[in-house]
Structure 1
Amino acid sequence: MRIPLDIPPGLSADDTSFAAAGRWADASNVRFHRGRPQVIGGWERLVEAPLSGVCRGVLAWTDKGAVLNVAFGTHSKLQVFKGGGLYDITPAGLAAGLVDGTGGQGYGTGAYSTGNWSEPSSGDYFPRTWSLAAWGENLMACPREGAIHAWTNNTGSPAAALSNGPARVTHMLVAPTDQVFALGCNEEVSGIFNPLCLRHSSVRNNNQWNTDPATTAREYILPGGGRIVAGRVIGPYLLVWTSHALFLGSFVGSVTQPWRFDRVGEKCGLIGPNAAVVVGQQAYWLGPDLQFYRYGLGGAVEPLPCPIREAMTDNLAASQGDKIVASSSSSFSEIRFDYPDARDGTENSRQLRMSLSDGAWSRGIMARTAMIDAGPSQYPIGVDPDGAAYWHERGQSADGGAFSWFVESADQCLNENSTAMVRGLWPDMADQVGPVSVSVNGRFTPQGDETSSGALSMAPGAERVDLRTTGRMFRVRFAGGSAPTACRIGRPVFDIAPAGSR
């Protein structure tokens, strides 16, 4: 008897193996693409020298000469990769920020030894993150809680603060109308920082911020409490998240109010400034409640089901939610969330991926503190906690070394009333590079002891692998870890013989 292994795409890990029968249960560094598990691409160094500090922001853009520029904002520096070199363009006098978050206001928060003993902190303590955007061929860069700076593509000169702009800004973005937005900033008249104040410059003039009738600079205060966390451009519109809600910014062109901000979702705030990504006309993000959300233009905010969320919610490093990074991979039509898992420390160490084609989720172990999609760069760009910047989905190795991957099924129950013996496997692999091991574990009851075939190696092009495992239900695991390594698993067929009704 020959039975094909034909499992639907995506992991189902938040239930028991028997309840998730017929599904994939666990994986690392494997995505589901076109309905089948496939090893992710490799990564190669973008620049040999490491960045200075822990990177929390990346932006790629091109100048008028079509030269690729890549800006990196770390907790201590602002650097740019240009023409094959790495240059320091840190604004003069900018002190290093925090590497780790220590929580918001309240008792027991704040950095160690700051303030009076046993008193609650009066400030917020967040890791230094950056908001980066292109202004034509130039760079706009804003360290969280700092001023907005501009860099004019001269590698010998640092970025400089915009004249007349707010002195303290939570997040910055550039609108399609060529206006720079300060999200969470000082109010114009009083100069007092308001976490719900939103200001923008005049059209095509990023140094004009006064709200005279002769300018197009204006100020808005969002309702609803909380604080502004971040914003994103989505088509001709803006999305602005607070810690509580989501607002849609629309350009209406009125002299007195060029933009209008409408609340389009409540109790769906953003956990951190880098935890949202826009793909086309859809936005995806992680909220402070550790729930994934989705919003499309013209629609409503809706929770995004994730059947592998439990491991993240149980192990997210305390007070480090601001480090979470959401990104996309246009080549594979997927989104990705890198997060800090307390089992590994306080830096981003693991990831969750979701295919936008069929909603299939997967996960992996990989340390990346910043990540952006390809375009205008040829490949996605990621940075590890040690400052190494990489091209991703390039090659089939970890910068020349090996990386591990696996995908494992939940129980596959052939017949609850009879036992079977798995005798062999006919592989169905595409683009296999390096050996792939397969193991089959069998058991007779959902919580019974397992017997294993052991990990048996399959070379590229192997026609059959002989196995011997008996049970009523079986778990199948494919794995690799060579340099290079690659594989796409199709519809392998198991050779099975009846073994009685024990």
Structure 2
Amino acid sequence: MRIPLDPPPGLWAEDTSYAAAGRWADGSNVRFWRGRPQVIGGWERLTGQTLSGVCRGAFGWTDRAGILTFAFGTHTGLQVWRGGGLFDVTPAGLAPGQVDGAGGQGFGTGTYSSGRFSEPAAGEFFPRTWSFGAWGEVLLASPRGGGLYAWANDPASAAAPVAGAPGQITQMLMAPTDQVFALGCNEEVSGVFNPLCLRHSSVRKNNEWTTGPATTAREYILPGGGRIVAGRVIGTSLLVWTNHALFLGSFVGAVGQPWRFDRVGERCGLIGPQAVAIAGQSAYWLGPDLQFYRYDLGGAAEVLPCSVRRDLVENLAASQGDKICASTTSLFGEVRWDYPDQRDGVENSRYVLFSTLDGAWSRGEMARTTMIDAGPAAYPVGVDPQGGVFHHERGHSADGAAFSWFIETADQVLDEDLTVMALGLWPDLGDQAGPVKLSLFSRLAPQGDVAVSGPFALAPGQARADFRANGRFFRIRFAGGSAPTACRIGKPVFKVALAGGR
């Protein structure tokens, strides 16, 4: 008897192996592409130099000469990669920020009402993150809680403060109207930091922030309490998250209030300034309640069901939610969240992955503090906690070394009343590089003793593997860990024989 292995796409890790029978249940560094599991691409160094400090923000752009440049914001400063070299362009006088979150109180952590409104916390209680934008070919950069800086593509010069801009900004955002937004900033008149204050510059004037009839600079205060966490551009609109809600910013062109901000989601705030990504006309993010959310332009915020969420909820490192970094991989239609897992320490070490094409979830182990999508570069770029910068989805190794992957099914059951003898496998492994190891875990009852068969090495192009494994419930695991390593699992077929009833 021949039984094909053909689970639906996506990991289902929220139930027991028996309750999730017929699905994929666990895995690492394997994505689902066009309905089938496929090992992720490898990574190669962008530069042999390493960044100084822990990176929490990156941005790529090209100048008018077509020179590709990357900016990297770390807890110690601002660095750029340009023309094959890495340069320190940290603004003069910018002191190092925090590496880790500390819970704390006051602005930046806790709630809006923790501490007096006009009195921020005595120190920073959040890890330093950066926001970036391109003003023509000039880089605009802002460290969380700091000012606004500009850098004009000269590696010999440091970034300089932008005159007139607020001195304390939670996040900077470039609007499609050629205006710079300061989200969570000092109010214009009092100069006091207000975590719900939005200000923007005049059109095409990033140094004009004074409101008045002769300017197009304006100020807004969001309702509802809490604090602004981040903002993103979506189409011609803006999305602004507080720790409680989501607001849609629409340009209406009125002289007094050219932008209107409408609440489009309640109890769906953002856990950290980097924990949201835009894919097309949709936003995907992780909330303080550790629920995933989605917002489609023109609709309302809604919960995004996640079939691998429990592991994240149970193991997210305490007080480190501000480190969570969301990114897209447009080549595969994916959104990825890198997060700190307490089993590995307090730094980003694992990720969850969502396919916007077929709704499949997967996950993996990889330490990345920042990830950005391809464009203008040909490949996505990621940064590890030690400051290594890598092109991703390039090659099939970890910068020349091996990396590990696996994917495992939940229980596969032919008939609960029958014992089955698995006799062999006809592999169906596409694009294989390096050996793939097959293991079977069999039981006679859902909570019975597990018998392990294998691992059996499957070489590229191997037509058949013979083995014997006896049971009623089978979990099947494919794994690899070579350099290079690659595999796409098609529809392998198992040869089985009935071995008896009860």
TM norm structure 2: 0.97
Counterpart Cα distance in 2 of 1:451 and 1:123: 55
Partner of 1:463: 463
* 1:267 partnered with 2:267: yes
Contact 1:441–1:450 under 8 Å retained in 2: yes
Partner of 1:323: 323
Contact 2:404–2:482 under 8 Å retained in 1: yes
- What SS does structure 2 have at the residue aligned with 1:249? strand
Q: What amino acid sits opposite 1:42 in the alignment?
A: G
Instruction: Report Cα offsets for 1:209-255 as digits up to 9, x if no partner.
Output: 00011100000000000000000000100000001100000011111
Q: How do residues 72-471 of structure 1 correspond to structure 2 at under 5 angstroms?
A: 72-105=72-105, 125-471=125-471
Counterpart Cα distance in 1 of 2:387 and 2:94: 19
Q: 1:340: Cα distance to partner?
A: 0.2
Structure 2: which 5+ residue stretches go unaligned?
A: 111-119
Partner of 1:55: 55
Instruction: Report Cα offsets for 1:178-225 as digits up to 9, x if no partner.
Output: 100000000000000000000000001000000011100000000000
Partner of 1:3: 3
- What SS does structure 1 have at the residue aligned with 2:98? coil
Q: 1:104: Cα distance to partner?
A: 3.5
- What SS does structure 2 have at the residue aligned with 1:272? coil
Instruction: Report Cα offsets for 1:135-184 as digits up to 9, x if no partner.
Output: 11110100000001011111111111110110100000100011000000
Counterpart Cα distance in 1 of 2:453 and 2:256: 74
Going from structure 1 to structure 2, the CA distance change for 1:14 and 1:126 (only over 3 Å counts) comes to same
Runs of 4+ in 1 over 4 A off after TM superposition: 120-124
- Report the identity percentage: 70
Counterpart Cα distance in 1 of 2:126 and 2:498: 61
- What SS does structure 1 have at the residue aligned with 2:261? strand
- What SS does structure 2 have at the residue aligned with 1:126? coil
Counterpart Cα distance in 1 of 2:441 and 2:321: 37
Counterpart Cα distance in 1 of 2:214 and 2:299: 36
Q: 1:402: Cα distance to partner?
A: 0.2
- What SS does structure 1 have at the residue aligned with 2:454? coil
Contact 1:103–1:124 under 8 Å retained in 2: no
Counterpart Cα distance in 2 of 1:123 and 1:80: 28
Which piece of structure 1 moves more, 447-456 or 180-189? 447-456
Contact 1:245–1:269 under 8 Å retained in 2: yes
Contact 1:105–1:124 under 8 Å retained in 2: no
Q: What amino acid sits opposite 1:224 in the alignment?
A: G
Q: 1:121: Cα distance to partner?
A: 6.5
Counterpart Cα distance in 2 of 1:40 and 1:489: 12
Which piece of structure 1 moves more, 46-55 or 120-129? 120-129
Q: What amino acid sits opposite 1:304 in the alignment?
A: L
Partner of 1:479: 479
Structure 1: which 5+ residue stretches go unaligned?
A: 111-119
Q: 1:66: Cα distance to partner?
A: 1.1
Which piece of structure 1 moves more, 177-186 or 97-106? 97-106
Counterpart Cα distance in 1 of 2:229 and 2:452: 50
Q: What amino acid sits opposite 1:280 in the alignment?
A: G
Aligned residues: 492
Contact 1:327–1:371 under 8 Å retained in 2: yes
Q: What amino acid sits opposite 2:83 in the alignment?
A: G
Q: What amino acid sits opposite 1:291 in the alignment?
A: Q
Contact 1:439–1:476 under 8 Å retained in 2: yes
Counterpart Cα distance in 1 of 2:6 and 2:185: 54
Q: What amino acid sits opposite 1:278 in the alignment?
A: I
Contact 1:102–1:125 under 8 Å retained in 2: yes
Q: 1:124: Cα distance to partner?
A: 5.4
Q: What amino acid sits opposite 1:423 in the alignment?
A: L
Q: What amino acid sits opposite 1:125 in the alignment?
A: F
Partner of 1:115: none
Partner of 1:34: 34
Q: What amino acid sits opposite 2:237 in the alignment?
A: Y
- What SS does structure 2 have at the residue aligned with 1:453? strand
Contact 1:139–1:151 under 8 Å retained in 2: yes
Q: 1:440: Cα distance to partner?
A: 1.1
Instruction: Report Cα offsets for 1:17-55 as digits up to 9, x if no partner.
Output: 000000001000000000000000000000101000000
Going from structure 1 to structure 2, the CA distance change for 1:303 and 1:248 (only over 3 Å counts) comes to same
- What SS does structure 2 have at the residue aligned with 1:454? strand
Counterpart Cα distance in 2 of 1:450 and 1:321: 37
Contact 2:22–2:413 under 8 Å retained in 1: yes
Partner of 1:117: none
Counterpart Cα distance in 2 of 1:377 and 1:147: 28
Instruction: Report Cα offsets for 1:354-382 as digits up to 9, x if no partner.
Output: 11111100000000000000011100000
Contact 1:54–1:74 under 8 Å retained in 2: yes
